[in-house]
Amino acid sequence: MDKEIRKTIARLKEEKDAVILAHYYVDDLVQEIADYVGDSYYLAELATRVPQKTILFCGVSFMGESAKLLNEDKTVVMADADADCPMAHMAEVSRIREVREQYPDVAVVCYVNSTARIKAESDVCVTSSNAVRIVSKLPNPDIFFIPDENLGRYVAGQLPEKRFIFNDGFCHVHREIAAGDLISAKELHPDALVLTHPECTQEVLALSDFIGSTSQIIDFATQSDHNEFLVCTENGIFYELCQKNPGKKFYPVSQHQCCPNMKRIRVESVLRALETLEPAVSLDCELSEKARLPLKRMLELAK
Ligand code: SF4
């Protein structure tokens, strides 16, 4: 990358007392300039520990909201105002209330990939890396898992003692990774292990050797003695996989493993956001109070 851009970013970060956090799914160049790169859980937890007064978030809007909910006093700036996750909106408040009436002992478990409005109606948040552990610690026999149905079904498969109610939300990127494409990719690379994110369909999960969050996939591949892997998640993960494992081979299973919202974020938008500190995340006080509780409960239970 251009040395001048690096120098400008370093200067602006110092002037604005800012730290850049980026998700594994953003463009390689953005991951390169970030101070920290990680998955949703790592970034949410890290946001509570960084000393800088400004957090510049390279990810979709629910991630910035979570960082703001956990850091009321800090300025949280999004690298791109329009980078939004469609799945984050795929749960209805009216449906949550209806389920609560129908199942009085239910715990509403909300994947962090959700808006603050949906979190505010929930009992606890989870990420793909801690969902099984956190749900297993809940005393409630009934679990309403929102918004992602695939992740909910994966968690339910690990916890047969709980009764799950599912919601029909989905991530279009993971849902479009087809079992047929994976079977063809396996024929092309018969020695490769299949590493899959639990937002994929049950058919794809059934064909996989390892299922985990993005950071768990990276750790698994890095620690594995194997040299070839087929990867079923968004293609931004290949940057970190290749950085950590220069001698290993990683293959996508289709040409569609790309999140258009994550890929909106460019180095130019990071520079602009650092210069202007806009758009800053701002949330209604009452909503924040309610939405913060399930996030904090997740951090407590994940300890
Ligand atoms: S990859 Fe899926 S879950 Fe992640 S931001 Fe994109 S649409 Fe949302």
Average pLDDT, whole number, for the chain? 96
Structurally, the chain folds into a number of domains equal to 3
Could you tell me the CA-to-CA distances from 132 to 124, 143, 297 in Å, in that order?
A: 13, 12, 15
Range of the domain at 48: 3-84+262-282
Report if residue 257 sits inside a domain.
no
List ligand 1's pocket residues with C-beta within 6 A.
25, 60, 85-87, 113, 171-173, 234, 259, 261-262
Examine the domain organization and report whether 54 and 126 are in the same domain. Answer: no
**Are 29 and 162 in a shared domain?**
no
Q: What is the pLDDT of residue 41?
A: 77
Instruction: Tell me whether residue 111 is in a domain.
Output: yes
Give residue 5's pLDDT. Answer: 87
Query: How remote is the CA of residue 83 from the centroid of ligand 1, in Å?
Result: 10
pLDDT of residue 212: 97
Predicted TM-score of the model (pTM): 0.95
Does some domain include residue 226?
Answer: yes
Question: Which atom of ligand 1 lies nearest, measured to the CA of 260?
Answer: 6
303 band by pLDDT with thresholds 50, 70 and 90: confident
Three-class SS state of 158 = helix
- For residue 199, pLDDT over 80 is answered with yes
State how far Cα 176 lies from the chain centre: 17
Q: Whose CA is nearest to atom 3 of ligand 1?
A: 171
Both 157 and 294 in a single domain?
A: yes
Whether residues 59 and 199 fall in one domain = no
Choose the residue to mutate in 62, 114, 173 for probing ligand 1, maximizing ligand atoms within 8 Å of C-beta: 173
Residue 38 within a domain = yes
Is 11 part of any domain? Answer: yes
* 44: pLDDT strictly greater than 80: no
End-to-end CA distance of the chain: 38
Q: Which residue minimizes the CA distance to atom 2 of ligand 1?
A: 171
Q: pLDDT band for position 211 (50/70/90)? A: very high
67 shares a domain with 96: no
Q: How far is the CA of 259 from the centre of ligand 1 (A)?
A: 6
Do both 102 and 233 map to the same domain?
A: no
Determine the residue of 118, 150, 172 to mutate for testing ligand 1's pocket, defined as the one with the most ligand atoms within 8 A of the Cβ atom.
172
Q: How far is the CA of 184 from the centre of ligand 1 (A)?
A: 24
DSSP per residue over 191-245, as a string? TPEEEE-TTS-HHHHHT-SEE--HHHHHHHHHH-S--EEEEES-TTHHHHHHHH-
DSSP class of residue 148 equals B
Q: What percent of the chain has pLDDT over 90?
A: 92
CATH number at residue 181: 3.40.50.10800
The pLDDT score that the predictor gives to residue 22 is 97
Q: Which atom of ligand 1 is nearest to the CA of 171?
A: 2
Rounded to an integer, what distance in angstroms lies between the CA atom of residue 34 and that of residue 239?
Answer: 13
